[in-house]
């Protein structure tokens, strides 16, 4: 891995994305990502607009789908937080990797959650159109601009009410946090490589705004969240504004 200037986006192949990844190494990497996700604050950031929507629905159950969910860390944590707050929210997930789907399903069962996990290629397969909220976390930075616009557009068309995207911000601070955090929280060489590379391939806030406009997500709100991440929030026109 070579450091690249961060003014321009620089995408490199990430080890986690490579076909034929050794299952044991893949599992070790997913465990490392679980620890990182637990400290990322992503779940709290995602829960705020879902909580707002759930309370607006006065107890009517909401269905949430987490695209490219990996091992399901954020998916299950989001469902657990919603349950703890008494919100009528069910969170399902999908991923391209059958190993990730199996890990996510096992985690959901161990937490006594009712989430359903299934295998899907979110860039090619049709997205289900019966979910109130469709979200993704740490996935958009894997894509080139055209694929990112395409995914955001498809999320907007498929979601009944809300689209959420949580991802990294490309910045020197983000790079430093990724480099240090991945080494402190995981022994996986895959995580050590992919973390900083992910920041180099991620978007800056104005770039995300441009992607949202191109995808037809007019009025999307984009704000910073800790630690050097952003949350994109788009509500289908016709509903009350998100906080």
Q: How far apart are CA 235 and CA 50, in angstroms?
A: 11
Which residues, 6 or more positions from 11, have their beta carbon under 8 angstroms from its beta carbon? 144, 200, 201
User: How much is the pLDDT for 135?
Assistant: 98
* Cβ burial, residue 135 (10 Å; 0-12/13-18/19+): buried
3-state SS string for 45-96: HHHHHHHHHHHHCCCCCEEEEEECCCCCHHHHHHHHHHHHCCCCEEEEEEEC
Q: How far apart are CA 210 and CA 49, in angstroms?
A: 22
What DSSP element (H or E) covers 158? helix 145-158
User: How much is the pLDDT for 4?
Assistant: 58
CA 183 to chain centre: 21
Q: How far apart are CA 152 and CA 181, in angstroms?
A: 28
User: How much is the pLDDT for 99?
Assistant: 87
User: How much is the pLDDT for 129?
Assistant: 95
Q: How far apart are CA 24 and CA 130, in angstroms?
A: 35
pLDDT tens, position by position, for the chain (243 residues)? 445 568 888 888 776 776 677 788 877 777 766 766 666 678 999 999 999 999 998 888 999 999 999 889 899 999 999 999 999 999 999 999 998 899 899 989 999 999 999 999 999 999 999 999 999 999 999 999 999 999 999 999 999 999 999 999 999 888 888 888 778 778 888 878 888 888 899 999 999 999 999 999 999 999 998 888 999 999 998 765 555
Q: Which of 122, 142, 150 is nearest to 9 (CA)?
A: 142
User: How much is the pLDDT for 46?
Assistant: 95
Q: Which of 157, 147, 142, 155 is nearest to 200 (CA)?
A: 142
Q: How far apart are CA 104 and CA 73, in angstroms?
A: 7
pLDDT tens-digit map of 7-23: 888 888 776 776 677 78
Q: How far apart are CA 180 and CA 35, in angstroms?
A: 14
212, 152 Cβ separation under 8 angstroms: yes
pLDDT tens-digit map of 132-149: 999 999 999 999 999 999
């Amino acid at each position: 891995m070579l450091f690249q200037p961060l003014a321009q986006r620089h995408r490199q192949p990430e080890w986690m994305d490579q076909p034929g990844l050794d299952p044991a190494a893949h599992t070790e990497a997913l465990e490392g990502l679980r620890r990182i996700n637990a400290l990322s604050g992503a779940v709290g950031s995602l829960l705020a607009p879902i909580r707002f929507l759930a309370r607006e629905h006065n107890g009517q159950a909401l269905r949430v789908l987490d695209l490219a969910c990996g091992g399901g860390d954020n998916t299950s944590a989001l469902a657990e937080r919603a349950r703890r707050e008494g919100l009528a929210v069910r969170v399902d997930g999908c991923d391209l990797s059958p190993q990730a789907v199996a890990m996510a399903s096992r985690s959901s069962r161990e937490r006594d959650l009712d989430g359903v996990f299934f295998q899907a290629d979110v860039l090619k397969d049709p997205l289900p159109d019966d979910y109130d909220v469709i979200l993704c976390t740490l996935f958009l930075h894997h894509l080139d601009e055209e694929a990112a616009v395409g995914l955001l557009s498809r999320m907007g068309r498929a979601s009944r009410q809300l689209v959420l995207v949580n991802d990294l911000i490309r910045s020197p601070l983000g790079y430093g946090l990724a480099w240090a955090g991945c080494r402190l929280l995981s022994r996986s060489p895959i995580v050590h490589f992919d973390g900083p590379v992910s920041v180099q391939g991620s978007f800056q806030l104005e770039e995300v705004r441009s992607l949202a406009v191109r995808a037809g997500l007019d009025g999307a709100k984009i704000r910073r969240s800790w630690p050097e991440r952003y949350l994109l929030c788009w509500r289908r026109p016709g509903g009350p504004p998100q906080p």
